[in-house]
């Protein structure tokens, strides 16, 4: 089967969507399928094209054994603004103008969103290739950015909502990553059989991190017997990471407790400045690391803080870092609600607490003082991840879904006429 994956980000970028897409591509390719990733030149999140690349109309390369076609992008920082939207749109136009002719034939196009324009690009790309179209909605755009206050009522919102509805209608299959999102889509009138849930997970490498990896990272950071609470991921608008600084301030006089924030994002510089102004010497900021370094980083921390803002829409969201912590055997302190909180409680792999700095600080102390509790929660998380949430295993189920979409066309079920 020939699969084209349309995505805004890909290796060597290192955010959660890249981890998901690169694992899918590698797994499908290893099983003998022809996988091509059509993406932008790497620039996330700072908005500068990475060293070793030069922005051009199109460039073909091979990345970790996967054929990658990069198309021009107006590179801008990952912030909620008209410039970010224009950056997304610029890449979509470049794919259609320059990439379609270079990408070759395919049987199915998988467009993974956000950003939403990727879905529209995927639909048009599939029409041009006379291929099936699968639209993956990892987050519900534009609802998510509206919830965070980055988009107000008006013409722009109505246009994006129109594009979203169009994509759900035209897709041969809609894929989401949580059961909560499936329910929301069903409530919008999308037929149940058209929606499939393909959850996030963690790479098998997270199961394999060793004590040697732990000590190597901690030695590099100058850490010894400290108890380290880590937030490893994008420092963006959705997570409310200021809360962790509030916790650190409450615990500034607690010996040997440290807070490690590793990642990039729109809020990073503001958080660093806030920690400096508050003289939080127990907070460590670490630059974004490549995804292959993440298993070692999780091995180096003693607890993982995972959080989302307390808004109704996020009840249907499960952060991918939850699965990475589970697979690493790292106990979780979760300021979560909805499906993510239910998962934490179901697998008994962490402490689910409200977004209250005093209560979070108590959870930190509880874990710091009880190695037995840490071991119990970590072992439960690792066991659950091994059974249910390893990306390489989930990729096989996803592949079967794509094969079903393609074979339905071959049987003549639900196929559309070729483009005019």
In this prediction, residue 239 carries a pLDDT of 79
Task: Sort strands 227-232 and 303-307 into parallel, antiparallel or unpaired.
Answer: parallel
pLDDT tier for residue 152 given thresholds of 50, 70 and 90: confident
Summarize pLDDT for 346-402 with one digit per residue, the tens.
999 999 999 999 999 999 999 999 999 999 999 999 999 999 999 999 999 999 999
What is the rounded radius of gyration, in angstroms, for the C-alpha atoms of the chain? Answer: 21
On the question of a cis peptide bond just before residue 39, with omega within 30 degrees of 0, the verdict is no
Q: 176: which strand partners?
A: 137, 197
Quick: pLDDT tens for 241-251: 999 999 999 99
Mean pLDDT of 30-36: 97
Checking if the pLDDT of 185 tops 50, the result is yes
CATH superfamily of 204-388: Glycogen Phosphorylase B; (3.40.50.2000)
Average pLDDT, the chain: 92
Query: Is the peptide bond preceding residue 142 cis, with omega within 30 degrees of 0?
Result: yes
Q: State the residue for tokens 């300021």.
A: 335
HEC letters along 356-400:
CHHHHHHHHHHHHCCHHHHHHHHHHHHHHHHHHCEHHHHHHHHHH
- Residue 42 main-chain phi, psi, to 5 deg: -65, 130
Model confidence over 258-311: pLDDT tens digits?
999 999 888 899 999 999 999 999 999 999 888 889 999 999 999 999 998 888
Question: Would you kindly state where each structural domain of the chain is located, as residue ranges?
Answer: 2-201+390-410, 204-388
Alpha helices in 198-278 (DSSP H): 211-221, 242-250, 268-277
Domain 2-201+390-410, CATH class in plain words: alpha beta
Do 206 and 294 form a contact (C-beta atoms < 8 A)?
yes
How sure is the predictor about 124, in pLDDT bands with cuts at 50, 70 and 90?
A: very high
| Euclidean distance between CA atoms 135 and 113, whole angstroms | 8
Of the listed ranges 64-78, 147-161, 329-343, the least confidently predicted one is 147-161
| DSSP element (H, E) containing 168 | helix 155-170
Question: CA-to-CA distance for 147 and 195, rounded, in angstroms?
Answer: 23
Q: What is the pLDDT of residues 53-83, one digit of tens each?
A: 999 999 999 999 999 999 999 998 876 567 8
pLDDT in tens, 201-228: 999 999 999 999 999 999 999 999 999 9
Question: How far, in Å, are 70, 179, 241, 376 from residue 347 at the CA level?
Answer: 40, 17, 25, 11
Nearest one of 413, 401, 409, 415 to 197, comparing CA atoms: 401
Give pLDDT, residue 414.
Answer: 43
Half-sphere exposure of 8 (CA within 13 A, CB side): 34
Give me the mean pLDDT over the 148-157 stretch.
74
Task: List, for residues 112-122, the tens digit of each pLDDT value.
Answer: 999 999 999 99
Bond preceding residue 72 cis, omega within 30 of 0: no
For residue 149, the model assigns a pLDDT of 66
Residue 168 backbone phi and psi in degrees, to 5: -60, -35
Per-residue pLDDT, 151: 66
pLDDT at 156: 78
Residue 194 and residue 105: Cα distance in Å, rounded?
25
Summarised one tens digit per residue, pLDDT across range 92-110 is 999 999 998 899 999 999 9
Calculate the CA dihedral of residues 392, 45, 135, 59 and round it to 10 degrees.
-90
**One fold for 2-201+390-410 and 204-388:** yes
């Amino acid at each position: 089967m020939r699969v084209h994956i349309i995505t805004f980000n890909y290796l060597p970028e290192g955010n959660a969507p890249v981890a998901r897409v690169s694992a899918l591509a590698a797994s499908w390719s290893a099983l003998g399928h022809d996988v091509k990733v059509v993406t932008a030149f790497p620039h996330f999140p700072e908005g500068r094209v990475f060293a070793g690349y030069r922005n051009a109309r199109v460039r073909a390369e091979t990345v970790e054994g996967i054929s990658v076609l990069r198309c021009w992008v107006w590179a801008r920082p990952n912030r909620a603004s008209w410039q970010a939207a224009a950056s997304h749109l610029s890449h979509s136009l470049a794919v259609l103008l320059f990439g379609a002719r270079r990408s070759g034939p395919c049987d199915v196009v998988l467009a993974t969103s956000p950003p939403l324009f990727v879905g529209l690009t995927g639909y048009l790309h599939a029409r041009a290739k006379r291929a099936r179209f699968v639209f993956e909605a990892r987050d519900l755009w534009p609802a998510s950015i509206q919830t965070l206050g980055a988009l107000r009522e008006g013409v722009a919102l109505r246009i994006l909502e129109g594009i979203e509805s169009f994509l759900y209608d035209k897709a041969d299959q809609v894929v989401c990553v949580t059961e909560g999102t499936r329910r929301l889509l069903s409530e919008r009138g999308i037929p149940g059989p058209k929606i499939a849930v393909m959850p996030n997970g963690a790479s098998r490498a997270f199961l394999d991190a060793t004590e040697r990896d732990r000590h190597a990272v901690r030695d590099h950071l100058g850490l010894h017997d400290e108890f380290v609470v880590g937030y490893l991921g994008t420092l963006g608008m959705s997570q409310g990471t200021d809360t962790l600084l509030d916790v650190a301030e409450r615990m500034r006089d607690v010996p040997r407790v440290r807070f490690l924030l590793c990642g990039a994002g729109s809020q990073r510089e503001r958080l660093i400045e806030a920690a400096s102004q508050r003289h939080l010497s127990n907070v460590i900021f670490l630059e974004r690391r490549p995804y292959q370094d993440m298993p070692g980083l999780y091995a180096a921390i003693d607890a993982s803080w995972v959080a989302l803002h307390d808004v109704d829409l996020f009840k249907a969201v499960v952060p991918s870092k939850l699965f990475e912590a589970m697979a690493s055997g790292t106990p979780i302190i979760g300021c979560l609600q909805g499906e993510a909180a239910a998962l934490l409680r179901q697998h008994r792999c962490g402490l689910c607490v409200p977004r209250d700095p005093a209560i979070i600080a108590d959870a930190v102390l509880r874990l710091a003082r009880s190695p037995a509790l840490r071991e119990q929660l970590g072992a439960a998380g690792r066991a659950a991840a091994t059974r249910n949430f390893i990306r390489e295993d989930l990729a096989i189920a996803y592949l079967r879904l794509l094969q079903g979409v393609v074979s339905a066309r071959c049987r003549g079920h639900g196929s559309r006429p070729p483009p005019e």
